[in-house]
Amino acid sequence: MYSYLFVEGTISTMTLGMQSKRSVIFNTDFMFRSLPSVSDSNGRKQRSRDILASHLAPGQPFNLTPSLQSNSASTSTGIPIILIYSDPVHSFIEMHFLAPLFPFLLSAITLSQATPTGNSINTNTTTNTLHPNASKLPFGAVITHCAIPGTIALTFDDGPYIYTPQILDTLAEHGVRATFFLNGHNRGHIDSSPEVVQRALAEGHQLGSHTWNHPSLDTLPYEEIVHQMTILEEAFMRILGFFPTYMRPPFLRHTPVVLGAMADLGYHVIGASVDTKDYENDNPDTNWVSFEKFQREVDAGGTIVLAHDAHQHTVEILVDNMLADVERRGLNAVTVGECLGDPSEFWYRTGR
């Protein structure tokens, strides 16, 4: 049976001099393993967007060019056209730089009006989706509140650290799932705690990125922002074999450049509507200040809670108090993805 597959790609507006033909393999969940990148002569990425719809047929390529005439020069310049075919196990994409097909690519957008079947992928919810199994959540836009009524999401930044296992114990005792935004090298080192990362995932918690070493991203140029994310992706790949689609910027600080980078990289940006500021009250005599702030901001409608698993008294006092209050309110403590109604298959990926 034929089905429509909608693919959104990152394609260059300046491909002069490019000579590229590259096969890209992705699994049956349509997770990209790799994509070719294209830069101009100064090394700057020049990007535009288009959507191409193609038939997906077992074992057969779908010929997009039967009525088009091309010439030998066309293979060295232009913009990519995507040819898709599949076998029973894998699907393959070939990117061809064929200048004469540009009008056809634009006209192919009209195919998106066709009724999709089971394997269709909606790519109209983000300005720059780099992986094809995109959820309905935006990329590169800050999300601060849950979408599902009656839910609240406890999130913990700056781990993994020596206190993270204790938080996992407490969450397990309460039967609660949370979200951990992890660093590569901050208070601890992610490669020194692979078992903690794996345990958190195995116990149903969601993992997100918090950059490699916790810089304030609003002070960095685009290239360094990207590096902070991709080096942590490599660590996730070593430990888990995949990396997140969710991230939180350190200190909650962002600029249009930061959000643009996150959109380019395919990240949902998670802020907070309840900020406990537990780092200011990591003391048994003042921890109540963070708990009262939690209560006030939940009273005001906050639903995504920011705390840290790198502070002793957050782990020993604040988490229990917050969970007791959540239970008293009759709220359902879940992961960020769950509270946003985002299916778990969209939380991670193996490439872009």
Which are the catalytic amino acids? 157, 308
Length of the chain: 352
Rounded-to-integer distance, Cα 209 and Cα 184, Å: 9
Of 219, 208, 217, 212, nearest to 248 by C-alpha is 208
CA angle 343, 344, 348 (to 5 degrees): 125
What pairing do the DSSP bridges indicate for beta strands 274-275 and 332-334?
unpaired
How far out from the chain centre does Cα 270 lie? Answer: 10
Taking CA atoms, 148 is separated from 133, 263, 331, 340, in Å, by 22, 24, 11, 6
**Residue 180 contacts residue 156 (beta carbons within 8 Å):** yes
Q: Where are the beta strands (DSSP E) in the chain?
A: 3-12, 21-26, 47-56, 80-86, 91-97, 142-143, 151-159, 179-182, 206-209, 243-244, 246-247, 268-270, 274-275, 304-308, 332-334, 348-349
DSSP string, 55-111: EEBBTB---S-TT----GGGGGSS-EEEEEEE-SS-EEEEEEE-GGGHHHHHHHGGG
